[in-house]
Amino acid sequence: QDTDGAYEVLKSLVMYIENEVQLGETRKINEDVDKRLDAYFERRNNGGIAGIPTSIIPLDKMLGGIKPTDLITILGFTGTGKTWALAILACMLAKAGYKILFVTREMNPDQMMMRIDALWAGVSYGDFSRGILSPKEEQKLKDFYEHMKSSMDANLVVELSTGGVTNVSAMIDKHTPDLVLVDGGY
């Protein structure tokens, strides 16, 4: 109940982190020369992409793909499609063979999986969620589910996180994904 005291504790912890925790890296011009040259040839051979391609051409041109240390944030008002954008990205990358961990902080995993199912199967989410798919779309959904049942590799996992960074870190250790998408970065 002591807001001022809590603020002072928080401020001192932030100052401790800024002063004591070192997150920097050092590179010397004469080290890792072969590795740097190999990285150039990888970019040259992959059209400038040095990480995981998003398949969103303007984004890939700007970022050169998603690299291991990248933190990419999508911001927008409530209801503007951020979750859908992440779900589309998750499906595209999982279909391309990347192992994706989708961490949701805002939605039940069953609800998120409904979106992913509709996207991956290529059916209307609105009709799917209301149970009114056309016979053709129903068949596409059934085919998708049959394929998923026989698939041995779960390369897209949805987890609900009610904790903080440590909780998400544990999920990463558990699933060892190529990419982590977090819906709701509070």
Q: Which helix (H) or strand (E) holds 3?
A: helix 3-20
Q: Which helix (H) or strand (E) holds 101?
A: strand 100-104
What percent of the chain shows pLDDT beyond 90? 47
Q: Give yes or no for residue 14 having a pLDDT over 90.
A: no
Owner of token pair 């009114």:
132
- Residue 94 corresponds to which amino acid? A
Window from 9-13, 175-179, 180-184 with minimum mean pLDDT = 9-13
Closest alpha carbon to 158 in 97, 94, 79? 94
What integer pLDDT is reported at residue 110 of this predicted model?
Answer: 93
pTM exceeds 0.85: no
**Strand, helix or coil for residue 55:** coil
Mean pLDDT, rounded, for 23-41: 87
What integer pLDDT is reported at residue 23 of this predicted model?
Answer: 64
Higher pLDDT, 139 or 2: 139
